[in-house]
């Protein structure tokens, strides 16, 4: 059984269909990349899966269970955690407090949750900054905090929304390694990313969206050659006819 | 709960001082002390919902008044001890809080809309109280004077002091307890960013309701104290706008979301209020003007209140200490 | 309950509703641009009333002429409020501007109390008690004047928003702040002007009711509540909504006063407030969502 199955998912906002009958699935332990031009519906899809939006049609099944009408907090309890495209740290709390709140999802006792939070911070390399207040962090640190906090909720599926945006090459490398380590711990990851090189090297499979529709799925190699994908990103002129 | 040695020492010292000093004060200064603790208590009750969970209510007088009226009417009309009335009033306020909270939070009223809704509720209760004969309308309720512990009436001011002291110690302990448990962490998360909190598994509505319930229950108890101390309540004294504002002023100035913020705010503001009221009686409105200015000044210069400033300074000092030993 | 009583109530309600519309328009303008709920609005109105009162006492100028004085004074007060107070907290958590306007309200109200004492004052012009009767319905002359003034002023404001560059800038910002900035609109300057105009609306509304309403420091409290309800009813940030909402609320208030005992009319107003907030937060005409 696939960890996550999305079937025929549709979301409309007034006259705009942001997500149009999208189907895909994620297998346990996979890193699935999601790409597509701006406005393709990737973040909306995240909102749908994580419960922030209610789909108009379609189903979302997590471990075989229908979750499409659950609240975000219920979905987190089921085992799906997410980050936000524009990071949302708890600005007036310390890094440790931020992550502890994540850990409290599974561990109701504060002291134990704090231990888990510290472990998670060590895993993501932010433990030195544990007493820093949210607003005093740099952007890469905030992205890492967002990730750590989501991780601390002990998810089975982690949704990462453009965690690399705004990072420098070295920071991107670190983040890629981190995501691979996360998968190494048995957590399945769905990554939205714009940086092609990253997505191609990181993902086991890729889903491509355009104008709210899924236009391709496959391995990175397959996607790189897919005419529809090339057309979508670079325009018709670049889609060349194979002899 | 976490306690460090110096803080335990200070606490014990503070406790002893608060127990013994009043014995040497005359009625006027004792009244000021009671005032400080009273408003500090109410501010702390508000703080749970406002400072910690971040839901600013501009109408806490609703709960205050429910407490005051419940215990007073039960006492005056049915002879029931105000101590029991205090409990019953608190329960009623809790139910009211859950009702209002359910409506507001379910329909997503946040920030200024929630603040105004609470104000509207308090005003509605005031109107009902004025027009309802059964609760004595605009005449108000007069508590018979007495000197019996069972009836929560005392001839002397001193016993009242010890009662409010016990109450404020109680609320401070409750606040500290909340702060160190998951409840407090979740309140802070809701305050800081609701959507992020949801994504971390926090049921926003449930926790807001808990905050509301705790806040309403404890605030109502303060209402009973007020009735028994001043021996008189009426719709505007119980539900009026100024009451709601007085309740929220101290925690905001002193430091919302901190344990001692409301008390610190009260130590600053309450004597100001009492003294200007008695010394400058011909300049009525002066102390409120000062309050208004302080509120503005606090919001602009000290958005996290006095305790926020204290913590920042403490942070700076401990950072310097870390650097120096090298 | 005679029909004439109901009709009378409707007439008074509509006339008063015009004034409510004007106050609400100022409030909704401020909210539409800066997303701030201006608690000090009632205090601004109170200042307008005192301005007209003192101008009347010292210069014997009719309140309907001294509108310009209150307009000017409150316009400046509004700008000062924006520059020195609100601008400082404009990008901080939502409750900060709210607390500042609350503090300002308390400050201004009590300043008035201190300077002018709590005594009720009245402006008695020659036509204060004048009225004419039509089919058993009494039409109070000053109230009609007030209604007309409110209407004229609101109309002028409407033209201002529709036709002038500044007006268009204001509307642009209320619809799309970032876009407005991108096309070069000086948002800061427009904020100043908006608060000035908003405050001036309240001030003018105060002036026009002085011939038939007592002047005292706490008068603002009554009106600020009504203004909020009108704004919520009409849709926050919605100009026409406030105009219509004001009339509707004036009607509701007057009918409630006639049909219900005691001070229950206020209860009706608060109930309308809560109902709209809970179940139709965008208001009757609201186009913007919370």
d(CA A20, CA B127): 53
Per-residue model confidence as pLDDT tens digits over C196-246: 999 999 999 999 998 888 898 888 888 888 898 999 998 888 888 999 999
Domain that holds residue A126: 86-154
Tell me if B120 and C274 make a contact (CB, 8 A cut-off).
yes
For residues A45 and A60, membership in a common domain is answered with yes
A55, A67, B61 from A22: Cα distances, Å: 11, 16, 52
The answer to whether B121 and B100 have CB atoms below 8 angstroms apart is yes
pLDDT value at residue B323:
62
Which chains are adjacent to chain C, needing at least 3 Cβ pairs under 8 Å? B
B–C CB contacts, 8 A cutoff, strictly below? 117
d(CA A84, CA A61): 22
pLDDT at B205 over 80: yes
- Which of the residue ranges B114-123, C38-47, C95-104, C184-193 would you say has the lowest mean pLDDT? C184-193
Per-residue model confidence as pLDDT tens digits over A44-91: 999 999 999 999 999 999 999 999 999 999 999 999 999 999 999 999
**Other CB atoms within 10 Å distance of the CB of residue A82:** 26
Tell me if A82 and B199 make a contact (CB, 8 A cut-off).
yes
The residue from A112, A136, A154 where one domain ends is: A154
pLDDT value at residue A235:
61
Report strand pairing: A57-62 vs A65-66: antiparallel
pLDDT value at residue B324:
56
Instruction: Tell me A240's DSSP state.
Output: P
Nearest to A101 among B185, B195, B203 (CB): B185
Helix C187-209 and helix C41-59: axis angle, to 10°? 60
Tell me if B113 and C94 make a contact (CB, 8 A cut-off).
no
Three-state secondary structure string covering chain C: CCHHHHHHHHHHHHHHHHHHHHHHHHHHHHHHHHCCCCCCHHHHHHHHHHHHHHHHHHHCCCCCCCHHHHHHHHHHHHHHHHHHHHHHHCCCCCHHHHHHHHHHHHHHHHHHHHHHCCCCECCCCCCCCCEEEECCEEEEHHHHHHHHHHHHHHHHHHHHHHHCHHHHHHHHHHHCHHHHHHCCCCHHHHHHHHHHHHHHHHHHHHHHHCCCCCECCCHHHHHHHHHHHHHHHHCCCCHHHHHHHHHHHHHHHHHHHHHCCCCHHHHHHHHHHHHHHHHCCCCCCCCCCC
Q: What residue has token string 């269970």?
A: A65
The residue from A94, A129, A154 where one domain ends is: A154
pLDDT value at residue B3:
63
Nearest to C89 among B108, B289, B300 (CB): B300
pLDDT top residue among A205 and C169: A205
**Other CB atoms within 10 Å distance of the CB of residue B272:** 15
Q: How confident is the model at residue A239 (pLDDT cuts 50, 70, 90)?
A: low
Best of B182, B200, B257, B312 to substitute, by most chain A Cβ atoms within 10 angstroms, is B200
Instruction: Tell me B51's DSSP state.
Output: I
Q: Is A63 exposed, middle or buried (0-12, 13-18, 19+ CB in 10 A)?
A: middle
The answer to whether B22 and B157 have CB atoms below 8 angstroms apart is no
Tell me if B295 and C279 make a contact (CB, 8 A cut-off).
no
Tell me if C277 and B300 make a contact (CB, 8 A cut-off).
no
* Spatial CA neighbour of C274 closest among B309, B284, B125: B125
Nearest to A105 among B181, B201, B304 (CB): B201
The residue from A154, A169, A191 where one domain ends is: A154
d(CA B252, CA B60): 14
Residue A208 C-beta-side C-alpha neighbours within 13 Å: 21
Best of A72, A93, A113 to substitute, by most chain B Cβ atoms within 10 angstroms, is A72
How close is the nearest chain B Cα to the Cα of C178, in Å?
A: 23
Task: Tell me which chain C residues have a C-beta less than 8 angstroms from the C-beta of B299.
Answer: 89, 96, 99-100, 103
d(CA C25, CA B163): 50
Task: Tell me which chain C residues have a C-beta less than 8 angstroms from the C-beta of B112.
Answer: 37, 94-95, 98
pLDDT top residue among C137 and B252: B252
pLDDT value at residue B81:
92
Q: What is the mean pLDDT of residues B294-301?
A: 92
B-contacting residues in A 159-218 (Cβ below 8 Å): none
pLDDT at A159 over 90: yes
- CATH code at A166? 3.40.50.300
A-contacting residues in B 191-220 (Cβ below 8 Å): 192-193, 195-204
- Which of the residue ranges B59-63, C39-43, C164-168 would you say has the lowest mean pLDDT? C164-168
Q: How confident is the model at residue A165 (pLDDT cuts 50, 70, 90)?
A: confident
Per-residue model confidence as pLDDT tens digits over C35-55: 888 999 999 999 999 999 999
Chain B nearest-CA residue for A47 = B199
pLDDT at B50 over 90: yes
Per-residue model confidence as pLDDT tens digits over B211-231: 999 999 999 999 999 999 999
Q: What is the mean pLDDT of residues A220-233?
A: 84
Chain A nearest-CA residue for B204 = A73
**Other CB atoms within 10 Å distance of the CB of residue A96:** 18
Task: Tell me which chain B residues have a C-beta less than 8 angstroms from the C-beta of A110.
Answer: 180-182, 185
Instruction: Give alpha helix (H) positions in chain B.
Output: 5-20, 27-47, 61-78, 82-106, 111-131, 158-180, 182-192, 194-199, 204-230, 235-239, 241-254, 261-279, 286-301, 305-323
Best of C34, C42, C106 to substitute, by most chain B Cβ atoms within 10 angstroms, is C106
Cα angle: A173, vertex A178, A184; to 5 degrees: 130
Q: What is the mean pLDDT of residues A124-137?
A: 88
For residues A182 and A228, membership in a common domain is answered with yes
d(CA C245, CA C229): 8
d(CA A147, CA A156): 14
Per-residue model confidence as pLDDT tens digits over B117-172: 999 999 999 999 998 888 888 889 998 888 888 888 888 888 999 999 999 999 99
pLDDT at B63 over 90: yes
For residues A71 and A138, membership in a common domain is answered with no
- Which region, left, alpha or beta, applies to residue B274 given φ > 0 means left and ψ of -120 to 50 means alpha? alpha
Q: How confident is the model at residue B206 (pLDDT cuts 50, 70, 90)?
A: very high
Task: Tell me which chain A residues have a C-beta less than 8 angstroms from the C-beta of B178.
Answer: none
pLDDT at B97 over 50: yes
Nearest to B117 among C108, C267, C274 (CB): C274
Nearest to A110 among B181, B204, B304 (CB): B181
For CA atoms A202, A204, A209, A212, give the dihedral sign.
Answer: negative
Query: Which value does ipTM take for this structure?
Result: 0.91
Candidate CATH numbers 1.10.3470, 2.30.29, 1.10.287, 1.10.1760; the one for domain C3-279: 1.10.3470
For residues A183 and A205, membership in a common domain is answered with yes
For residues A164 and A241, membership in a common domain is answered with yes
C60's CB contacts (< 8 A; 6+ apart) are none
Chain A nearest-CA residue for B190 = A90
pLDDT at C81 over 70: yes
Beta bridge partners of A238: none
Task: Tell me which chain A residues have a C-beta less than 8 angstroms from the C-beta of B186.
Answer: 101, 104
Nearest to C110 among B120, B288, B296 (CB): B288
**B interface residues, C as partner, C-beta within 8 Å:** 56, 58, 103-104, 107-113, 115-117, 120-121, 123-124, 127-128, 130-131, 241, 245, 252, 283-286, 288-289, 291-296, 299-300, 303
The answer to whether B288 and B240 have CB atoms below 8 angstroms apart is no
The answer to whether C164 and C222 have CB atoms below 8 angstroms apart is no
Q: What is the mean pLDDT of residues C80-93?
A: 84
The answer to whether C251 and C10 have CB atoms below 8 angstroms apart is yes
For residues A128 and A230, membership in a common domain is answered with no
As a residue count, chain A comes to: 243
Q: What is the pLDDT of chain C when averaged over all its residues? A: 87
d(CA B255, CA B43): 10
Report strand pairing: A188-192 vs A157-161: parallel
Tell me if C271 and B127 make a contact (CB, 8 A cut-off).
no
How close is the nearest chain A Cα to the Cα of B199, in Å?
A: 6
Count of domains observed in chain A:
2
* Spatial CA neighbour of B40 closest among B253, B236, B298: B253
Q: Which two three-digit tokens encode residue B78?
A: 């049915």
Q: Is A94 exposed, middle or buried (0-12, 13-18, 19+ CB in 10 A)?
A: middle
Q: Domains plus CATH for chain B?
A: 25-323 (1.10.3470)
Tell me if C263 and B131 make a contact (CB, 8 A cut-off).
yes
Helix C95-116 and helix B241-254: axis angle, to 10°? 120
Q: Is B235 helix (H, G, I), strand (E, B) or coil?
A: helix
The answer to whether C217 and C46 have CB atoms below 8 angstroms apart is yes
């Amino acid at each position: 059984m696939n960890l996550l199955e999305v079937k025929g998912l549709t979301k409309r906002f007034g006259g705009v269909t942001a997500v149009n009958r999208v189907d895909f699935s994620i297998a346990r332990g996979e890193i699935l990349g999601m790409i597509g031009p701006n406005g393709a519906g990737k973040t909306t899809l995240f909102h749908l899966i994580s419960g922030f939006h209610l789909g108009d049609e379609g189903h979302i099944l997590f471990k075989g269970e229908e979750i499409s009408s659950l609240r975000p907090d219920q979905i987190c309890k089921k085992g799906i955690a997410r980050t936000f495209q524009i990071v949302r740290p708890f600005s007036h709390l310390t890094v440790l407090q931020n992550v502890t709140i994540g850990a409290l999802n599974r561990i109701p006792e504060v002291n134990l949750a704090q231990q888990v939070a510290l472990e998670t911070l060590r895993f993501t390399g932010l433990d030195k900054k544990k007493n820093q207040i949210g607003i005093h962090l740099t952007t890469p640190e905030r992205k890492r905090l967002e990730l750590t906090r989501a991780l601390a909720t002990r998810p089975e599926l982690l949704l990462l929304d453009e965690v690399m945006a705004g990072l420098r090459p070295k920071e991107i490398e670190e983040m890629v390694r981190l995501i691979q380590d996360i998968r190494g711990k048995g957590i399945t990851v769905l990554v939205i990313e714009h940086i092609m090189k990253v997505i191609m090297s990181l993902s086991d499979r890729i889903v491509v969206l355009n104008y709210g529709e899924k236009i391709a799925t496959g391995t990175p190699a397959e996607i790189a050659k897919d005419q529809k994908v090339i057309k979508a990103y670079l325009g018709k002129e670049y889609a060349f006819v194979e002899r | 709960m976490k306690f460090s040695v110096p803080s335990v020492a200070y606490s014990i010292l503070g406790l002893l001082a608060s127990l013994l000093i009043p014995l040497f004060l005359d009625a006027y200064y004792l009244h000021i002390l009671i005032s400080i603790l009273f408003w500090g208590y109410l501010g702390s009750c508000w703080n749970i919902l406002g400072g910690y969970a971040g839901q600013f209510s501009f109408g806490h007088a609703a709960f205050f008044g429910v407490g005051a009226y419940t215990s007073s009417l039960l006492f005056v009309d049915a002879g029931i001890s105000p101590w029991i009335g205090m409990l019953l009033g608190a329960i009623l306020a809790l139910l009211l809080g859950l009702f209002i909270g359910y409506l507001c939070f379910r329909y997503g009223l946040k920030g200024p809309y929630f603040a105004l809704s609470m104000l509207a509720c308090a005003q509605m209760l005031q109107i009902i109280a004025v027009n309802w004969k059964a609760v004595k309308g605009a005449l108000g309720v007069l508590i018979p004077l007495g000197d019996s512990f069972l009836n929560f009436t005392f001839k002397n001011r001193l016993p009242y002091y010890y009662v409010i002291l016990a109450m404020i110690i109680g609320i401070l302990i409750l606040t500290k307890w909340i702060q160190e448990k998951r409840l407090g962490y979740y309140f802070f998360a809701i305050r800081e960013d609701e959507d992020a909190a949801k994504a971390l598994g926090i049921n926003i509505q449930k926790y807001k309701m808990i905050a509301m319930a705790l806040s309403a229950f404890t605030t109502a108890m303060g209402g009973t104290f007020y009735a028994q101390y001043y021996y008189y309540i009426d719709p505007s004294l119980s539900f009026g706008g100024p009451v709601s504002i007085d309740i929220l002023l101290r925690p905001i100035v002193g430091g919302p979301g901190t344990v001692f913020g409301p008390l610190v705010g009260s130590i600053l503001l309450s004597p100001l209020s009492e003294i200007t009221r008695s010394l400058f009686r011909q300049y009525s409105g002066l102390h409120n003007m000062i309050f208004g200015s302080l509120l503005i000044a606090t919001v602009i210069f000290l958005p996290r209140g006095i305790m926020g400033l204290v913590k920042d300074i403490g942070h700076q000092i401990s950072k310097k200490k870390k650097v120096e030993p090298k | 309950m005679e029909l004439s009583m109901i009709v009378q109530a409707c007439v008074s309600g509509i006339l008063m509703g015009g004034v409510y519309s004007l106050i609400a328009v100022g409030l909704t303008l401020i909210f539409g641009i800066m997303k701030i709920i201006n608690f000090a609005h009632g205090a601004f109105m109170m200042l307008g009333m005192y301005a007209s009162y003192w101008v009347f006492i010292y210069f014997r100028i009719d309140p309907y002429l001294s509108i310009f004085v209150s307009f000017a004074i409150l316009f400046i007060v509004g700008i000062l409020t924006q520059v020195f107070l609100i601008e400082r907290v404009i990008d901080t958590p939502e409750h900060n501007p709210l607390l500042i306007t609350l503090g300002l309200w308390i400050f201004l109200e009590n300043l008035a109390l201190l300077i002018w004492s709590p005594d009720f004052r009245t402006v008695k012009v020659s036509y204060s008690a004048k009225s004419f009767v039509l089919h058993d319905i009494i039409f109070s002359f000053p109230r009609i004047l007030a209604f007309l003034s409110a209407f004229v002023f609101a109309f002028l404001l409407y033209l201002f928003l529709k036709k002038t560059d500044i007006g268009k800038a204001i509307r642009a910002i209320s619809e799309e702040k970032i876009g407005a900035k991108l096309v070069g609109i000086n948002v800061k300057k427009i904020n100043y002007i908006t608060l000035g105009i908003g405050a001036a609306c309240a001030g003018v509304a105060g002036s026009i009711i002085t011939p038939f309403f007592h002047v005292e420091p706490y008068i603002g409290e009554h009106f600020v509540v009504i203004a909020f309800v009108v704004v919520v009813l009409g849709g926050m940030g919605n100009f026409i909504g406030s105009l219509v909402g004001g009339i509707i609320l004036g009607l509701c208030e007057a009918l409630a006063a006639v049909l219900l005992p005691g001070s229950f009319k206020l209860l009706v107003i608060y109930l309308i407030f809560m109902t709209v907030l809970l179940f139709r937060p965008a208001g009757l005409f609201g186009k913007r969502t919370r």
